[in-house]
C-alpha cells in the first residue's frame, strides 16, 4: 500500500511540475508582451517627437524582448491580482479551515497551515486533470487582471499626452496616431471591465475544487487527523 502511494505521488508530481512551470511562464510573458507592445505603440504615437532613438532591427527586437521580460517578471513578483476580492474569497483552503472547526480534537488551522494542507491534497490526491483546469483558469485570471491594469495606465498616459500637446499649440489633427491609440486603449479597458469573466471563472474554479473536497470528505478528515498527529516542524 505504501509503495502504491509513493508511486502515485511520483506520477502526480511528474505531471504537475511541467504544467505548473508552463503556466507560470505564460503568466510572466503574456502580460509582459502586452506591456511592451503598448509601449511600442505609445512610443510611435507620441514619444518619437521628443526621443530621437531609432535602433536597428536586431537591437529593436532585443529591447522589445528585454522590456517584455522585465515587465512580466515585475508584475509577476508584485502579485497584485492575488490581493483582489475575487482571488481572496471562497478559497479551498478556507473550506479546510471551516472543516477543521467542525471536527472534535482537531486544532484550528491558520491561513498558512490551511494553504499548506490544501496544496498537499492537491499535489497528492486531486487528479491531474483538475490540475490543468486549476492552472488554466488561474493563469487566465492573472493575465486578464494585468491586461486591465496595463490598459488603464496607458490610456491615462495617452490622454495626458494629448492634453500636453494641445497645451503646446498642437491641434488634434496633428496628433492622429495618438488620437487613434488613446481611444482604442480606453475601449479595450472598458470592454475588459464590462465583460469581466475572469473574476467569475476564478470563483467557479474555487467552487469546483471545494466540491471535490466535499465529495472526498473521508480523505479530507483523514488528512486533517494525520496532520494533527504529525510532529511539529523543527524551527
pLDDT single digits (tens) 208-222: 888 888 899 888 888
Closest CA to 126 of 58, 223, 23, 200: 223
Domain that holds residue 158: 2-228
- For the chain, the domain total comes to 1
pLDDT tier, 91 (very low <50, low <70, confident <90, very high otherwise): confident
- Whether 234 maps to a domain, the answer reads no
The number of C-alpha atoms within 13 Å of 166 and in the hemisphere containing its C-beta is: 11
3-class DSSP state of 220: helix
What average pLDDT does the segment 114-137 reach? 82
Contacts 24+ apart (CB under 8 A), 178-187: 178/45, 178/46, 180/45, 181/41, 181/42, 181/45, 181/46, 182/155, 182/158, 185/38, 185/151, 185/154, 185/155, 185/158, 186/155, 186/158, 186/159
Of 77 and 81, the one with more pLDDT: 77
Q: Tell me, yes or no, whether 6 lies in a domain.
A: yes
Q: For residue 186, what are the contacts with CB-CB under 8 A and spacing of at least 6?
A: 155, 158, 159
In-domain check, residue 235: no
Confirm whether 69 is domain-assigned.
yes
In a domain, 156, yes or no: yes
Q: Which residue has the higher pLDDT, 20 or 57?
A: 57
Average pLDDT over residues 73-80: 84
User: How far from 150 is each of 31, 59, 145, CA to CA, in Å?
Assistant: 8, 24, 9
Residue 62 covered by a domain: yes
Query: Is the predicted pLDDT of residue 194 greater than 60, yes or no?
Result: yes
**How far is it, in rounded angstroms, from Cα 112 to Cα 31?**
28
Task: Say what the pLDDT of residue 131 is.
Answer: 76
Least confident of 13-27, 105-119, 132-146: 13-27
pLDDT, position 233: 54
Q: Is the pLDDT of residue 8 over 80?
A: no
Proportion of the chain above pLDDT 90, given as a percent: 26
Residue that is written with C-alpha cell 479551515 in the block: 97
Sign of CA dihedral 32, 33, 34, 40: positive
The residue-averaged pLDDT of 159-167 equals 92
pLDDT over threshold 80, residue 155? yes
Which of the four pLDDT bands, split at 50, 70 and 90, describes residue 231?
Answer: low
Query: What's the whole-model pTM score?
Result: 0.74
Whether 204 has a pLDDT exceeding 60, the answer reads yes
Q: Is residue 176 situated within a structural domain?
A: yes
Separation CA 70–CA 22 (nearest Å): 18
Does residue 122 lie in a domain region?
A: yes
What mean pLDDT do residues 220-229 have? 80
The single residue listed with the C-alpha cell 490622454 is 159
Kindly indicate the confidence band of residue 6, based on its pLDDT and cuts at 50, 70 and 90. Answer: very low
Amino acid at each position: 500500500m505504501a509503495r502504491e502511494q509513493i508511486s502515485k505521488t511520483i506520477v502526480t508530481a511528474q505531471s504537475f511540475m511541467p504544467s505548473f512551470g508552463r503556466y507560470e511562464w505564460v503568466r510572466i510573458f503574456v502580460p509582459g508582451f502586452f506591456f511592451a507592445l503598448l509601449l511600442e505603440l505609445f512610443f510611435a504615437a507620441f514619444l518619437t517627437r521628443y526621443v530621437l532613438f531609432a535602433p536597428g532591427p536586431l537591437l529593436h527586437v532585443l529591447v522589445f524582448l528585454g522590456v517584455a521580460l522585465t515587465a512580466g517578471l515585475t508584475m509577476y513578483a508584485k502579485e497584485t491580482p492575488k490581493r483582489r476580492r475575487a482571488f481572496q474569497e471562497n478559497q479551498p483552503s478556507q473550506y479546510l479551515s471551516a472543516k477543521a472547526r467542525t471536527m472534535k480534537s482537531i486544532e484550528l488551522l491558520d491561513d498558512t497551515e490551511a494553504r499548506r494542507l490544501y496544496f498537499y491534497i492537491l499535489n497528492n490526491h486531486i487528479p491531474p486533470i483538475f490540475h490543468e483546469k486549476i492552472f488554466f483558469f488561474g493563469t487566465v485570471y492573472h493575465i486578464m487582471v494585468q491586461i486591465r491594469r496595463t490598459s488603464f495606465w496607458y490610456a491615462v498616459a495617452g490622454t495626458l499626452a494629448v492634453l500636453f500637446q494641445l497645451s503646446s499649440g498642437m491641434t488634434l489633427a496633428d496628433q492622429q496616431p495618438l488620437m487613434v491609440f488613446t481611444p482604442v486603449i480606453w475601449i479595450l479597458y472598458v470592454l475588459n471591465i464590462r465583460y469581466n469573466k475572469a473574476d467569475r471563472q476564478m470563483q467557479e474554479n474555487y467552487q469546483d475544487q471545494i466540491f471535490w473536497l466535499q465529495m472526498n470528505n473521508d480523505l479530507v478528515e483523514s488528512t486533517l487527523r494525520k496532520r494533527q498527529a504529525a510532529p511539529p516542524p523543527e524551527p
